Amino acid sequence: MESSLSKLAPLEAVLFDIDGTLCDSDPFHYYAYRELLQQIGFNDGIPITEEFGIKNIAGKSNEDVGRVLFPDSDQEKITKFFEEKEAMFCKLASEQLKGVNGLQKLCKWIGDRGLKRAAVTNAPRPNAELMISILGLTDFFQVVITGDECDRAKPFPDPYLRALKELDASPDHSLVFEDSVTGIKAGVAAGMPVVAVVLRGREKSLTDAGATILIKDYEDQKLWNALEQLERSVEAETKTEK
């Protein structure tokens, strides 16, 4: 399992989801949804559970979430709800958002090797750029792709395929970091192995979605063992060519 990234040698590009992957933002989304849904009497005023959020919200685009939460509402009401939700999320994120443990270490590893990098998300662009800015990664990412700017959002592969095209990178030499079933399915469908960040005990569902490696954060030794094996594969190929 730990050496299963070696087929990517030489690694060319690394693509990251944002929510739950670069940062633990899910609690802020959950809080905003819970508060606003309760205000409008959703589910007879009974607050949504975290499990409901994982099943129906995590990793999905606002358009897809809207279809689940408000199947009979008109678009104007749905748009207003999401404007309020995103505003509440942005306020919470601005005050409390932090990167996943070890993120800067991994970004330095990527930067030191001159790898191409993109952020690929179903979040609206203002939210995506806010989170990237808070994390100090605005200059790190060469490309930022949002699902609502593609023909189809995740779980379809379109956002990842577009990122590869803009980076001029091959899926055969690119790696995805994700945290949701929706995102993993998108990365796999785009032809890339996916490393899944498991922040809230969703191991089985993430594995079932096609994740290659599960890690608890970017300090996880499983990740670094796999990256080390990947580099050894490059060295072995170089020696063979000589």
Q: What is the pLDDT of residues 119-150, one digit of tens each?
A: 999 999 999 999 999 999 999 999 999 999 99
Do residue 16 and residue 68 come from a single domain? no
Q: Which two tokens stand for residue 106?
A: 């991994």
Q: Which two tokens stand for residue 132?
A: 């990237």
What pLDDT sits at residue 238?
64
Q: 3-class DSSP state for residue 214?
A: strand
Q: Which two tokens stand for residue 28?
A: 């802020």
Q: What is the pLDDT of residues 90-112, one digit of tens each?
A: 999 999 999 999 999 999 999 99
19 lies in some domain: yes
Do residue 215 and residue 155 come from a single domain? yes
Where is the domain boundary, 70, 96, 122? 96
- Evaluate whether 56 touches 68 at the Cβ level (below 8 Å): yes
31 lies in some domain: yes
Containing structural domain, residue 224: 6-24+98-241
Q: Is the pLDDT assigned to residue 30 strictly greater than 70?
A: yes
69 lies in some domain: yes
Do residue 159 and residue 81 come from a single domain? no
Do residue 175 and residue 188 come from a single domain? yes
Average pLDDT, the chain: 92
1 lies in some domain: no
Q: Is the pLDDT assigned to residue 67 strictly greater than 60?
A: yes
Do residue 178 and residue 64 come from a single domain? no
What pLDDT sits at residue 241?
61
pTM: 0.88
Where is the domain boundary, 96, 117, 151? 96
Do residue 128 and residue 233 come from a single domain? yes
Task: List Cα–Cα distances, 72 to 66, 77, 88, in angstroms.
Answer: 10, 10, 24
Do residue 153 and residue 231 come from a single domain? yes
Total domain count, the chain: 2
Where is the domain boundary, 96, 111, 127? 96
Do residue 209 and residue 133 come from a single domain? yes
152 lies in some domain: yes
Do residue 14 and residue 34 come from a single domain? no
114 lies in some domain: yes
Please list the alpha-helical segments (H only) found in the chain. Answer: 26-39, 50-56, 62-69, 75-96, 103-112, 125-134, 158-167, 181-189, 203-208, 221-241
Catalytic residues, by residue number, are 17, 19
What number of H helices and E strands is found in the chain? 10, 6
54 lies in some domain: yes
Do residue 31 and residue 151 come from a single domain? no
Do residue 206 and residue 112 come from a single domain? yes
* CA-closest candidate to residue 34, choices 78, 73, 69, 10: 69
Do residue 231 and residue 174 come from a single domain? yes
159 lies in some domain: yes
CATH code assigned at 104? 3.40.50.1000
CATH code assigned at 50? 1.10.150
